[in-house]
Each structure stands twice: as structure tokens, then as C-alpha cells.
Structure 1
């Protein structure tokens, strides 16, 4: 029986327990987990700010998590289908805040939307850190 490859994507800036939990849950859906880490430019285009940690630092952080087998740089949201094909993914995992937005990939891979960890957000963490340093 062939191994099942799971692919997911994210910025993974200011790595926190919510990131670890979603990656662990994604990994449980297959035998191999591939993670696309948003480039600095993609993050800026999505969020209007640069990440706290650089693209290379975020790649290093994510690649060192035990549930992650491979990482690559995600350059564009519009290339999801290409990334699925390039990495021969069987399952695409996204956070449930994207529910329905990637169903157009369901002919290439099973699309699963996982719930995010409640009350944990990178943006909220960054804001909290900024206000406690003042």
C-alpha cells in the first residue's frame, strides 16, 4: 500500500502551541507531512506586515518539528494545485477559517479543514508582546 502524503500551508510566524497542534493533527492523517511556509512577500501581501521571523528562520523552525517531514517555500496562494501535484499529496489540510475556499483542489487531493486551537493567534501574541514591552 502506498504512503499517504499530507500537505498544509501557513506562515508559522511566532511559532506557538496552536501551530504545533494543527501540524500534529495534519500528520495523523497520513504517513508523511509536507509543509508550505509562506514566503516573506506572500505574508506581507496577505497581512500587510512583515513576519517577525524571516522566511529562512520559519523554514528552520517548522522543519525541526518531529511531525514534519519536508518543508518548502509557498510563493503564492494561487499555486495550491501546483504544490499538491509537485509534492504528490493525497490530502490537503487547511485551517477551518479557510473552509470551502480550497474545495477546487478536491479532484487532486482530499481536502480537510481542521479547527484552529481556540484563543491562540499569532496576531494576538504579537500585539500582546508589543504592549508588554512598552
Structure 2
């Protein structure tokens, strides 16, 4: 039976940390579905607009060979619905979210992957701004 893996993220200013989590998530199953946070959701959860608009971030993620499907994540409160609708067997998140999604263990396996050391979108933006 094929395993569907689902992960979520903003994927703004795409960097190797994003690539690492997506590739590691893909390796955990047969089909990878990625929820890309909407511009409005990003503003609500991070307090700032993303650098790149949602349609561009979705296009970048969709272009990755390991990604089978991309959808727009519009609400954190709808995560369970996204998991069920996509028939997810595994939810993969970065370990900065550790414990936050354990409530979904009743619908799928929940895995938290270590983040790539010394890289984040915020750090990349700050490095660019400093130049």
C-alpha cells in the first residue's frame, strides 16, 4: 500500500534547509504532498508578509522532482482536515514544532525532523539586508 507523506511550510526565500526537509519527507513514503502557507496565514503566524507571494512559492515547491502535489494552506486550524483530505499516512514537520502536532497521531504518524543547522529564512533575509 503506497504511503502518503504530507508536510507544511511557508518556503519563502527557498534555501537548502527547505530542500533538506522536503527530500527527507519524500524518502519516508511513496507520495509527497506539500501544503504551502498562504500569504495571509504567514502574516498571521509570523507577523510579516512573505518576500515571495504564495503563487511563486507554490510554483517553486511544485517544480521539485520529489513533490507530487502542492496545495495552499490557509489555516493552521484546518491541519486535521488537510491530513484527512490528502489521506496522509505521515505528517512531517521540522523539530521546531516538536510536540505541537502530536494530536494528529490518531489519523497518521507524526514525525519531527531536525532542522538544517545554521540556516533559516529569517537568517537569510537578515544576511541579505546587511549587505
TM-score bracket relative to the smaller structure: over 0.9
Runs of 4+ in structure 1 off by over 4 angstroms are none
Deviation at 1:24, TM superposition (A): 0.3
Which residues of structure 2 form unaligned runs of 5+? Answer: none
CA distance in 2, matches of 1:47, 1:100: 19
Matched position secondary structure for 1:129? helix
Please name the residue that 1:39 is paired with: 38
The normalised TM-score by structure 2 is 0.99
CA distance in 2, matches of 1:22, 1:81: 21
The normalised TM-score by structure 1 is 0.96
CA distance in 1, matches of 2:34, 2:85: 12
Matched position secondary structure for 2:117? coil
Please name the residue that 2:18 is paired with: 19
Note the aligned Cα RMSD (angstroms): 0.5
Deviation at 1:131, TM superposition (A): 1.4
Matched position secondary structure for 1:6? strand
Please name the residue that 1:124 is paired with: 123
Q: In the comparison of the two structures, how many residue pairs are matched?
A: 131
